């Protein structure tokens, strides 16, 4: 099974009618709401995945749910593909358009509509950035938990599409665990509301399946999200280990003992060197791997949990334990970790994988990752959310060397297959997008994929929403 980044071939009838379509769209939501100049379309041709690009037919920038509904009605009538887009930070190509598609970018719908502390909820438009929710409620002692590294830029609509995670999701869960309700525009413009401020919902849990559906079931225009109270205190602690295996075995034992720190981040030696050179975080350099373990609560609670964790770490060859002594040191520790992708980009091109594995398989899969990269003669740096088994190997290569590029892609595929073969999953938080579409057959049996496609078709019988993504192009049974 070869992986490809091919899109569905554009519909020539749509391309031929481009000017008419643009004029119609302008009629629907106004000139200032439609981008159609090829030069102005360039920022929308790809996203954070960057491995492929297409200029879309046009981009719409609606300001209201009603405008999104009008746009969808029009596109459904003429079978025009639609690519929903937030900030375009997708790492799996989820927002990359196809040539015959209208991109509907939600970035102008960026208002926080309501903050409701009594129900610990905020109602926001889909284009609000992740971090701005926490910013809006921080002074009152609350925050919104999922924290993808792109949280300064990425939007809540995109987070819902990809079911985004982040370093602190070990304790607080990913987007689906913090989402209470959505307003959803269906393929034909129908607006439905799912969930809300009350517990549970009668009937089927459509909200759960919409979260993580990568813009294929409808366009989320509003979301009600859970607010949490900020902890009394939080303390990241560095643990340096003699071996990478020791560090990963330590993670398994921490979680297996029932402890749930807020975060357990893993960095191997190459990642430590790359990040320390960039961020001067004070990471120990004489170790093979380190864990950043963050605990939170009162001073007493943090001390107690740390004692327990340190006693576990001692059984796995810990060489250094460094508690942050100040807010500045704590910030430096996280800065090193959160800048890992940027710091890596300084020294080489890289592709970042996003597999998950059961924690009991962490050591085996890490070892397998090293073996695979050695086989292809490539360097790899591992920096990832270890506590929930979400691995992010960064495979380093030279993008101008076709052989290395092909080797990097092959190594990435082998690593994801390794994750699946160890009971894991192709994706933890970046989504399938176009990147991992063809690997879906490695994850799922035909019957599983067929049922997913039937569900997809029950929402979007014309398959106009983000149609080139997630499901392999061949054998779309319900298309």
- Residues numbered 336 to 395 that lie near a second copy (CB under 8 A) are 356-360, 388-390
Q: Are 224 and 123 in contact (CB under 8 A)?
A: yes
Indicate which single residue of 4, 20, 64, 298 sits in contact with a second copy (rule: CB under 8 A).
298
Nearer to a second copy, 43 or 423 (CB): 423
Using rule CB under 8 A, residue 316 touches a second copy:
no
Could you tell me whether strands 82-85 and 102-105 are parallel, antiparallel, or unpaired per DSSP bridges?
A: parallel
Helix axes 340-347, 327-338, angle to 10 degrees: 50
Closer Cβ to a second copy, 92 or 339, answer by number: 92
Contact pick of 37, 40, 79, 193 for a second copy (by CB under 8 A): 193
**Quick check: 46 binds a second copy (CB under 8 A)?**
no
Asked if residue 61 binds a second copy (CB under 8 A), the reply is no
C-beta closer to a second copy: residue 57 or 76: 76
Q: Is 132 exposed, middle or buried (0-12, 13-18, 19+ CB in 10 A)?
A: middle
Task: Name the residue nearer to a second copy (CB basis): 415 or 439.
Answer: 439
Which runs of consecutive H residues, i.e. helices, occur in 82-178? 130-138, 156-162, 169-172
Nearer to a second copy, 107 or 252 (CB): 252
Q: Which residue has the tokens 């964790």?
A: 309
Identify which of residues 59 and 171 has a Cβ nearer to a second copy in the complex. 171
User: Which residue of 89, 107, 176, 324 would you call a contact of a second copy, by CB under 8 A?
Assistant: 176
Q: Restricting to residues 101-140, name those near a second copy by CB under 8 A.
A: 116-121
Segment 439 to 478, residues that bind a second copy, using CB under 8 A: 439-440, 443-445, 447-449, 451-452, 454-459, 470-471, 478
Q: Is there a contact between 334 and 374 (Cβ–Cβ < 8 Å)? A: no
The yes or no reply on residue 167 touching a second copy (CB under 8 A) is: no
- Residue nearer to a second copy on the CB measure, 61 or 68: 68
Closer by beta carbon to a second copy, 136 or else 281: 136
Interface with a second copy (CB under 8 A), residue from 280, 304, 314, 375 = 304
Q: Indicate which single residue of 19, 38, 139, 200 sits in contact with a second copy (rule: CB under 8 A).
A: 200
CB of 458 to a second copy, least distance (A): 4
The interface with a second copy within residues 71-90 (CB under 8 A) comprises none
Contact map string, positions 258 to 297, toward a second copy, x by CB under 8 A: xxx------------------------------------x
3-state helix, strand, coil in the chain (%, to 5): 40, 20, 40
For a second copy, which is the closer residue by CB, 63 or 183? 183
For a second copy (CB under 8 A), the number of binding residues is 90
User: Residues with Cβ < 8 Å from 240, sequence gap 6 or more?
Assistant: 283, 284, 286, 287, 289, 290, 318, 319, 320, 321, 322
171 touching a second copy, by CB under 8 A: no
Among 428, 438, 464, 466, binds a second copy (CB under 8 A): 428
Nearest distance from C-beta of residue 430 to a second copy, angstroms: 10
Q: Are 385 and 165 within 8 A, CB to CB?
A: yes
Residue among 138, 312, 155, 334 nearest 227 (CA): 138
Complex with a second copy: residue 163 or 339, whichever CB lies closer: 163
Which residue from 110, 132, 177, 364 is in contact with a second copy, where contact means CB under 8 A? 177
Please report whether residue 309 would count as binding a second copy according to CB under 8 A.
Answer: no
- Of 213-242, binders to a second copy (CB under 8 A) are 213, 217, 227-230
Residue 206 engages a second copy in binding (rule: CB under 8 A): yes
Helices (runs of H) and strands (runs of E) counted in the chain: 17, 18
Least distance in angstroms from the C-beta of 184 to a second copy:
9
Residue 155 in contact with a second copy, rule: CB under 8 A: no
Count of other CB atoms within 10 angstroms of residue 86: 30
CB of 354 to a second copy, least distance (A): 9
- Give strand ranges (E) for 339-421: 349-352, 379-385, 393-397
Residue 465, classed as helix, strand or coil, is strand
Q: CB-wise, 235 or 238, nearer to a second copy?
A: 235
In whole angstroms, how close is the CB of 433 to a second copy at the nearest point? 10
- Residue pair 454/478 in contact by the 8 Å Cβ criterion: yes
What strands lie across the sheet with 58-60, from one edge to the other? 34-35, 58-60, 102-105, 82-85
Q: How far is CA 407 from CA 5, 215, 347, 401, in A?
A: 16, 31, 18, 10
Note every long-range contact of 371-375, with CB atoms under 8 Å and residues 24 or more positions apart, other chains counting. 372/411, 372/414, 372/415, 372/418, 373/411, 375/411
Question: CA–CA separation, 164 vs 146, rounded Å?
Answer: 7
Q: How far is the CB of 167 from a second copy (least distance, A)?
A: 13
């Amino acid at each position: 099974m070869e992986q490809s980044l091919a899109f569905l071939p554009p519909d020539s009838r749509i391309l031929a009618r481009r000017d008419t379509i643009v004029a119609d769209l302008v009629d629907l939501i106004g000139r200032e709401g439609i981008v159609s100049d090829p030069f102005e379309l360039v920022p929308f041709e790809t996203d954070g995945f960057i491995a492929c690009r297409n200029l879309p037919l046009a981009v719409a920038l609606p300001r209201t749910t009603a405008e999104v509904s009008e746009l969808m009605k029009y596109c459904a009538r003429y079978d025009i593909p639609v690519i929903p887009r937030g900030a375009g930070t997708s790492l799996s190509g989820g927002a990359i358009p196809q040539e015959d598609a209208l991109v509907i970018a939600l970035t102008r719908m960026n208002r926080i509509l309501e903050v409701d502390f009594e129900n610990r909820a905020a109602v926001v438009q889909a284009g609000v950035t992740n971090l701005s929710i926490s910013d809006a409620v921080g002074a009152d002692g609350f925050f919104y938990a999922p924290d993808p590294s792109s949280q300064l830029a990425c939007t809540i609509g995109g987070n819902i599409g990809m079911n985004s995670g982040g370093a602190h999701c070990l304790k607080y869960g990913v987007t689906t665990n913090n989402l209470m309700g959505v307003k959803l525009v269906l393929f034909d413009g129908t607006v439905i509301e799912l969930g809300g401020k009350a517990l549970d919902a009668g009937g089927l849990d459509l909200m759960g399946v919409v979260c993580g559906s990568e813009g294929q079931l409808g366009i989320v225009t509003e979301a009600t999200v859970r607010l949490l109270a900020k902890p009394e205190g939080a303390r990241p602690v560095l643990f340096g280990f003699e071996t990478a295996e020791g560090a990963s075995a330590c993670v398994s034992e921490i979680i297996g003992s029932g402890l749930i720190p807020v975060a357990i981040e893993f960095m191997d030696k190459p990642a430590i060197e790359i990040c320390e050179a960039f961020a001067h975080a004070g990471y120990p350099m004489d170790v093979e791997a380190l864990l950043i373990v963050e605990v939170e609560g009162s001073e007493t609670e943090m001390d107690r949990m740390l004692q327990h964790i340190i006693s576990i770490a001692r059984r796995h060859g810990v060489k250094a334990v460094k508690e942050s002594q100040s807010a500045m040191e704590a910030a430096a520790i996280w800065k090193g970790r959160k800048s890992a992708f940027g710091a890596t980009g300084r020294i080489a091109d890289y592709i970042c994988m996003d597999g998950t594995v059961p924690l009991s398989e962490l050591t085996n899969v890490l070892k397998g990752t090293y073996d695979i990269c050695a086989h292809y003669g490539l360097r790899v740096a591992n920096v990832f959310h270890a506590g929930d088994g979400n691995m992010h190997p960064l495979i380093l290569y030279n993008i101008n060397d076709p052989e290395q590029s092909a080797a990097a892609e092959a190594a990435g595929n082998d690593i994801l297959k390794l994750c699946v073969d160890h009971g894991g999953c192709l994706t933890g938080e970046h989504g399938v997008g176009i990147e991992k579409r063809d690997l879906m057959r490695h994850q799922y049996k035909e019957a599983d994929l067929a049922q997913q496609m039937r569900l997809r078709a029950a929402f979007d019988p014309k398959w106009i929403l983000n149609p080139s993504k997630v499901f392999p192009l061949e054998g779309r049974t319900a298309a």
